């Protein structure tokens, strides 16, 4: 562990990233989908000469600007802070490998945010054609931000053979394009684009729900229905894209999902399956709610309905991202770096030379328990906490010191038939360090 450890009590650092990320994903995908919604809605209104539509689209663009420009950007920076603290090694790999990718991304963000501002503030001040063009520039720039970040996110799931072949040699950047267009690139770009389009519809329904149905029945009916249509294509295509995506995911990781399927209710490890099911069920509910409440009864579609749809969308997003995280376990960068920052290629060296010499944060005269705690923080706390989320206190409760030794031996050897291999990294370190970890874990539940 070359960096100080960020200890977030009870929930663990992973959930800090998760909570920020879920909001960020809801907003950033809306920033892309909504970027297409606005000019298309404006174009329709202009063609049909509908001043009442234009007024609402303009209102929506204000909401859009505030949500994406303020909450989208702040939560994006929040992700950087949290991943940098929670997983410095992984973050560093992403930065070093994709220097130019990030540079392009920042330029696109600049274009995206400035056109969003120009679009909102020039309603009625410049010609309609020019205003519409600003909208299209925004749409293209924001879609390109997705094109870039999608390559980097996919890389974390599966860097692909060409990059893995040079990983750790210092030549990684020479495989930039192979890493960028990794095996999950296209299905996940399609999947995310579909999510963007649905979110454009979902957020637009929030705006539409505020139109007074008694005062403007025609406007409300038309806008609610037009917005609801945005959910349709993606929900029809989503199952197929999901299958394609899973097809690209490494066999070993996919096995986790299948294992969960076959042991529902009994298996020790079915979260990924449960999450995948939750995702499917809430997606279907979204479609149902939108069809019955928005499409069929547009006039009575109120704010509570819109917020319910939004909430379900949040559940789908959260479940989807959680499944993706679980599919990637035990890696943070597929088959290269484990979630706790240990590189796969370093395992042998760390077993021989020890793990703790890399932790200058540990006092020189640390006691055995302090050394054990150092091991625990560095190697286990990426996924466990002491007392709440995947709590060690509970997991250790039924184990005496001998059972702990056996458990740690299984984790350390990480043999192909180890039941933990598909979701926990191998425990690294010398025999002395592993004993210290065992003593520390034992102390958590003492007295028995
Ligand atoms: C990459 C994430 C990750 C890391 C790192 C990790 N674990 Fe786990 N661990 C998990 C997951 C996921 C489970 C399953 C949790 C569940 O079923 O609720 C688990 C389960 C466990 C269990 C319960 C298994 C059982 O059969 O009782 C123990 C004990 C455990 N981990 C110990 C450790 C120790 C000790 C370390 C550090 C050396 C560690 N874990 C590191 C993800 C991780």
Q: How remote is the CA of residue 411 from the centroid of ligand 1, in Å?
A: 9
CA atoms within 13 A on the CB side of 268: 6
- Is residue 379 within 8 A of residue 425, CB to CB? The reply is yes
Nearest ligand 1 atom to alpha carbon 382: 5
Answer left, alpha or beta for residue 278, where phi above 0 means left and psi between -120 and 50 means alpha: alpha
CA of 381 to the centre of ligand 1 (A): 9
Is the link from the previous residue into 330 a cis peptide, with omega within 30 of 0? Answer: yes
- Mean pLDDT for the stretch of residues 58-69: 94
**Which tokens belong to 48?**
């049909």
Q: Which residues contact 81 (CB under 8 A, 6 or more apart)?
A: none
How far is residue 331's CA from residue 157's CA, in Å, rounded to a whole number? 8
Which tokens belong to 385? 């906490």
Token readout for 26 is 């809801």
Distance 424 CA to ligand 1 centre (A): 6
Query: Which residue among 383, 397, 422, 444 is best mutated to probe the pocket of ligand 1, counting the most ligand atoms within 8 A of its Cβ?
Result: 383
pLDDT for res 255: 65
204: tokens are: 């637009």
Question: Over the stretch 326-367, which tens digit does the pLDDT of each residue have?
Answer: 888 899 999 999 999 999 999 999 999 999 998 888 888 999
Structural contact between residues 194 and 29, judged by C-beta atoms closer than 8 angstroms: no
Q: What is the pLDDT of residue 123?
A: 96
CB 79 within 8 A of CB 87: no
Q: What distance in Å separates the CA atoms of residue 64 and residue 27, rounded to the nearest whole number? A: 9
Structure tokens at 291: 């069809």
Rounded distance between C-alpha atoms, residue 175 and residue 185, angstroms: 15
Distance 379 CA to ligand 1 centre (A): 10
For ligand 1, atom 27, the nearest C-alpha belongs to 395
Contact residues for 390 (Cβ-Cβ < 8 A; gap 6+): 12, 383, 384
CA–CA gap between residue 3 and residue 335 (Å, rounded): 22
Kindly indicate the confidence band of residue 445, based on its pLDDT and cuts at 50, 70 and 90. Answer: confident
Instruction: Examine the pLDDT at 10 and tell me if it is beyond 70.
Output: yes
Q: How far is the CA of 384 from the centre of ligand 1 (A)?
A: 7
Do the beta carbons of residue 403 and residue 29 sit within 8 Å? no
What is the Cα 147 distance to its own chain's centre? Answer: 16
Q: What is the pLDDT of residues 123-156, one digit of tens each?
A: 999 999 999 999 999 999 999 999 999 999 999 9
Q: How far apart are CA 135 and CA 42, in angstroms?
A: 9
Contacts of 35 (CB under 8 A, 6+ apart): 112, 116, 135, 138, 139, 141, 142, 143
Residue 65 burial (CB count, 10 A)? 18
pLDDT in tens, 421-436: 888 999 999 999 999 9
271-287: pLDDT as tens digits: 677 777 888 888 888 88
Does the pLDDT of residue 223 top 80, yes or no?
yes
Answer for the pair 23, 199: CB distance below 8 angstroms, yes or no: no
Query: Among 380, 385, 418, which residue has the most ligand 1 atoms within 8 Å of its CB, making it the best to mutate?
Result: 380
Residue list, ligand 1 pocket, CB within 6 Å: 268-269, 329-330, 339-340, 379-380, 382-384, 390, 395, 407, 411, 423-425, 427
Give the span between the Cα atoms of 433 and 448, in whole angstroms: 23
- Nearest Cα to 71, choosing from 115, 36, 29? 29
Question: Cα–Cα distance between 150 and 144 in angstroms, integer?
Answer: 10
| pLDDT for the residue numbered 17 | 94
What's the rounded Cα separation, in Å, for the pair 259 and 431? 33
Average pLDDT, the chain: 90
For residue range 226-263, list pLDDT tens digits in order.
Answer: 999 999 877 788 878 888 888 877 666 666 666 555 54
């Amino acid at each position: 562990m070359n960096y100080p450890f960020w200890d977030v009590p009870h929930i663990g650092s992973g959930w800090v990233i998760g909570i920020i990320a879920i909001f960020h994903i809801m907003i950033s995908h809306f920033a892309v989908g909504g970027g297409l919604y606005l000019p298309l809605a404006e174009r329709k209104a202009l063609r049909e000469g509908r001043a009442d539509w234009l007024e609402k689209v303009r209102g929506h663009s204000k909401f859009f600007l505030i949500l994406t420009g303020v909450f989208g950007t702040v939560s994006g920076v929040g992700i950087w802070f949290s991943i940098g603290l929670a997983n410095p090694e992984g973050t560093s790999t992403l930065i070093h490998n994709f220097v130019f990718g990030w540079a392009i991304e920042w330029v696109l963000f600049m274009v995206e945010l400035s056109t969003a501002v120009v679009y909102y503030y020039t309603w009625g001040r410049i010609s309609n054609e020019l205003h519409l063009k600003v909208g299209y520039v925004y749409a293209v720039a924001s879609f390109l931000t997705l094109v870039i970040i999608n390559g980097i996110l996919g890389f974390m799931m599966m860097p692909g053979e060409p990059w893995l072949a040079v990983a750790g040699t210092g030549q990684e950047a020479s495989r930039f394009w192979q890493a960028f267009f990794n095996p999950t690139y296209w299905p996940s770009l399609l999947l995310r684009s579909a999510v963007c389009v649905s979110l454009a519809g979902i957020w637009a329904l929030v705006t539409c729900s505020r139109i007074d149905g008694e005062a403007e029945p025609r406007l409300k009916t038309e806008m609610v229905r037009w917005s609801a249509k945005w959910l349709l294509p993606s929900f029809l295509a989503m199952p197929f894209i999901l299958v394609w995506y899973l097809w690209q995911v490494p066999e070993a990781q996919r096995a986790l999902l299948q294992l969960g399927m076959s042991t529902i209710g009994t298996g020790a490890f079915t979260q990924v399956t449960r999450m995948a099911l939750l995702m499917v069920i809430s997606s279907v509910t979204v479609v149902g709610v939108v069809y019955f409440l928005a499409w069929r009864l547009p006039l009575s579609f109120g704010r509570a309905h819109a917020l319910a749809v939004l909430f379900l969308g949040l559940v789908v997003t959260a479940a989807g991202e959680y499944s993706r995280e679980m599919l990637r376990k035990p890696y943070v960068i597929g088959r290269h770096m484990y979630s706790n920052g240990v590189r796969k290629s370093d395992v042998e060296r760390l077993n021989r030379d020890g793990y703790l010499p890399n932790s200058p944060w540990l006092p020189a005269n640390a006691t055995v328990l302090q050394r054990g705690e150092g091991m625990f923080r560095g190697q286990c706390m990426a996924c466990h906490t002491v007392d709440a989320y995947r709590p060690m206190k509970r997991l250790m409760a039924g184990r005496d010191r001998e059972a702990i030794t056996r458990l740690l031996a299984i984790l350390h050897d990480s043999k192909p038939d180890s039941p933990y291999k598909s979701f926990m990294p191998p425990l690294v370190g010398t025999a002395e360090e592993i004993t210290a970890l065992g003593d520390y874990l034992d102390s958590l539940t003492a007295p028995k």
